[in-house]
Amino acid sequence: MELETQETRPTPSLLSSVWEAIRGTEQDFTTGSLGRAILLLSIPMVLEMSMESLFAIVDVFFVAKLGAHAAATVGLTEAMMTIVYSVALGLSMATTAMVARRIGEKKPERAAEAAVQAIWLGFASSAVIAVFGILFARQLLGLMGADAEVIREGWAYTAIIFAGVFAVMLLFLINAIFRGAGDATMAMRVLWLANGINIVLDPCLIFGLGPFPELGLKGAALATTIGRSIGVVFQVWLLLGGRGRVRVRRKDLRVAWGVMGRLARVSLSGMGQFIISHVAWVGLVRIVADFGSVALAGYTIAIRVVVVAILPAWGMANAAATLVGQNLGAKQPERAEKSVWTTGLYNMVFLGLVGVAFVVFAEPIIRIFTSDPQVIVHGVDCLRYVSYGYLFYAWGMVMVQAFNGAGDTVTPMMINIFCFWMWQIPLAYFLATQTVLGPRGVYLAIAIAEGTVALVAVLVFRRGKWKQQAI
């Protein structure tokens, strides 16, 4: 026979697979080599998150040039925006899970229906958050521990960032649709476009390069909002143009209350898990803020550097979520489980190497962003302490995304309640205020708590109840 079966076709080379992952082709991730499936999904997802990491670093690099108060403003605003990210991520997890399940069941029309309902939910959530953030920007900074000068210089930055909540929400949600469908390359292109524009506009609007006005900190906020908004326009064009596995047509734009209700139900616990973890980060920022703007600036810079590794690693974890959702939809739970263990191993190797590099080169890395000796000391301490836990982060994030990909958002929420609210925050407060560690106690608590998340998540995952999750 001249026809080749899937089993007898020659295995593509590593280089050709990498190129295929970047170029983006329609794939069935419920059959064939699992390692290749992880590669094809992980590469664009890691590149997508790498661009997000690059933006975070470039943004803080330019903002730090405006002084410690500007860096502190960004840190406090980002801490508040974690609530927005929690809502967006909760909706995104539910959206990815439902779209992936429908794709695995070979029901693309129902995947499109779920996608549209997620977008409607995102619009409604954004409206409430945006109005609140714009009206109470000064008060919110004050509640976060900002001093009078930070509030005076930074409230406009905070208000503009909250005005762009619509773009944040839709950027998360529509990329979640692409990832759930296995269109990881599309999500990558969107984020590269949005953050690429952001990176170019940042110095132009902050320092007034060329024909642009010098807007200082407000310019950083405008660059971010403009870049994200253009990314959303591109996403909508892709969805409505039928250029991927999820093709939204006019009839799909109606409100389907049943589907929206299921999405909302799964999203609530998804939001809960991220709100819990992000509120914990807000609590950590609040503890560090008591040690002054210099400590807070060092912490902000170090955490942005940490994001360089964490976000690409989350990209790999997102691949596990897609594989779990699609393979459960295809009635292949054992393949879904195997994909999680394999992805976790890859992630551990990646983050382990990055963690070693950050510990060894912490000081020269922090010096890239600031010349203030006191800020450098705090930044180096934070970067080193947090990096000690990288091997645990690798497994924890893959396990959490595996639960989310199955539609089981309750289990990660319960893990987060215990590990972050009942363990991390009290431990950080005790170590920072009742021992000689000071702010170092906060950094140490981060590593310890994340290690606990990984251990608990692995133990729960091995029980296998996530395989029976309906969505």
Contact 378, 418 (CB under 8 A): no
Place of tokens 């807000």: 282
Domain range for 433? 33-468
Which of 87-91, 241-245, 443-447 is predicted most confidently? 443-447
Within a domain: residue 18? no
Res 367: pLDDT: 92
- For residue 421, the 8-state DSSP code is I
**Ramachandran assignment for 4, one of left (phi > 0), alpha (psi -120 to 50 degrees), beta (any other):** beta
Res 2: pLDDT: 38
Res 332: pLDDT: 93
Contact 176, 118 (CB under 8 A): yes
Q: CA torsion sign, 230 to 234 to 235 to 236?
A: positive
Res 131: pLDDT: 92
Contact 358, 384 (CB under 8 A): yes
Average confidence score pLDDT of the chain: 87
Within a domain: residue 246? yes
DSSP track, 355-372: HHHHHHTHHHHHHTT---
Within a domain: residue 4? no
Q: Tell me which of 278 and 158 has the higher pLDDT.
A: 158
Res 5: pLDDT: 41
Range in 77-86, 194-203, 280-289 the model is least confident about: 77-86
Q: Tens digit of pLDDT for each residue in 131-187?
A: 999 999 999 989 888 888 888 888 999 999 999 999 999 998 999 999 898 888 888
Within a domain: residue 3? no
Res 31: pLDDT: 83
| Mean pLDDT calculated for residue range 208-237 | 93
Residue 295 has pLDDT above 70, yes or no: yes
Residue 6 has pLDDT above 50, yes or no: no
CA pair distance 87, 82, nearest whole angstrom:
9
Q: What's the number of domains the chain is made of?
A: 1
Within a domain: residue 7? no
CA pair distance 73, 368, nearest whole angstrom:
20
Residue 374 burial (C-beta neighbours within 10 Å; 0-12, 13-18, 19+): middle
Within a domain: residue 282? yes
Residue 397 has pLDDT above 50, yes or no: yes
Long-range contacts, stretch 248-254, CB < 8 angstroms, 24+ apart? 248/112, 248/115, 248/116, 249/112, 252/109, 252/112, 252/113, 252/115, 252/116, 253/116, 254/116
Within a domain: residue 80? yes
CA atoms within 13 A on the CB side of 285: 28
For residue 11, what pLDDT band results from cuts at 50, 70 and 90? low
Residue 7 has pLDDT above 60, yes or no: no
Of 45, 128, 139, the residue nearest 87 (C-alpha): 128
Within a domain: residue 312? yes
Res 334: pLDDT: 93
Contact 373, 380 (CB under 8 A): no
| Mean pLDDT calculated for residue range 389-393 | 90
